[in-house]
Structure 1
């Protein structure tokens, strides 16, 4: 919606030479620098007014100095506009969302533009394409023209670290939409006053509507999807109301995740049907190897020739590393240890006298002990 508004505004003013996407990125960057999560259509309009005012003011001043009669309305400027003009105007953005959203909501929300790709998802052969393709349909305006009102609510269940968040990030990147992430626990933190939890939910969905098209990602959703007392029942009523009101025309897809399915209120869960999916860990050696290879690829220039994905996979299975997240963290840690060992050895070799050498040996003792057999001369 915001990108379309920028494109329409540029066409209306007759301004050429700038990219609508670059303008949007400038405005989003300014909002981020001010520690705010979103911009609104009003923000876009105010920036265009600032640019137009800045371009017209010098011309008006010159005419006023040289003319004695009333000035006619200036014609639309058809020449090129510079990106620097939008950068300057963005500094004066009033950020209407700042005025409308509570600090609790803005502090709990993370707004990003993901760049992950489908190729970065290891395993999940049975459901990966199905989930991502259904989300793409929910954003496709042609579906509404064909009379198809897609369900824009998805619930991803399963153990921690299996790829639920990565699926949501890839979906946002593929559809070129904003990604609003909020953790259930953070959203409800300190919401102890009467009516406060419901207000936060209402504001969260209001933020999503301002930032449409977007994915609203509710991580650890069981923290807000459980029932059992009067307060949580009122909260659930607000959540179910917001979910039920969403249509494909809103261009908002809600993706909720949880690894505690048993805590989720049944009626709330039903709002996500038929898009309730269990995201499992890799199901066989081929899927595990695929996950390992994806993460090894990131450090491929630094791998020894005898490092093979299948050998690493067997070792991980033997050591009970049972999730893709665990694989990623272990490979990252192995790379860190290797880099620290190389750095430690270089520090010792660079020592110019015995005192500095003694200090370096003591400081990097743990790293040096791991490579003692490679550098016997350092002792």
Structure 2
């Protein structure tokens, strides 16, 4: 609101004017300046990219983050007025041009896209963008604005994960073992398809440590304490044998080997390993032990002599009958490693050496010979 002012002196007007209250206008201007400073500060501190591209495809604005990452492309280190395609990998040129056409055809519609940018080291910088066309007061396109983020780390992580999964699948195909990947923090366990093949479970693979323990034979569950001690210790390798229940209720003998992965604090965060079904091997070993026990019993009960002599001519085995009859020669019951000729009469030494040589020259062939041994009464 304006007010008229008039000053007179001695009936004569000496000043005339108006006064206007501009307090609100002044405050509004200060707010505008403050907002502009705030916006510039926000744009400057952005970790995202912010650009605008004119209708000719040249940069008209780039925030500080974008300039820092891509100014090396431009000789004068100033992207303004330079082609937007100059910072984009050639493989993404056609994609970016198509996006600009779509933006101009659909003002105020956000279009998202992944764009590969060039890296100073010659690699790729993967970015994700929201593009939108800005218009003038009459709705005509004037610029395309883009807000982008650097997703290189995410893309590389996804690529490594994919490669890791591919390796996991290849290893799974190359072995019959049940391979697992256990997250020690969440307790989640991932199993290869061989788990179902080994133990018969279709969609019931244990998802956590408790469901795994439930299938371990009750007499073998001490391994849980052993594993707990390993996890809180410093050892990074785990190996054990136990019985594991199959879907038909029978127990398979398994050999488990695992590698523990720890963080910088030494805490176990992950464990990768494999379960191998060794039931056949275990049963074969038990049969062998029983067979050896039977044969040993037969040998020990023999009334005949049974010996083995090594290449140096020393005893490597003697059955009980031989030990009983000739231990007096050596003064002890265990004369393994002693000279076999001490228990042979002198006049048969040469003949026995000849027979030994014939045996060595004809493996598998049986040779018979009479050999006189000394008697305890020197007969």
TM-score for both structures, normalised by structure 2: 0.16
Of Structure 1 and Structure 2, the greater strand share is in: 2
The structure whose RCO (Cα within 8 Å, separation 6+) is larger is: 1
Of Structure 1 and Structure 2, the greater helix share is in: 1
TM-score for both structures, normalised by structure 1: 0.16
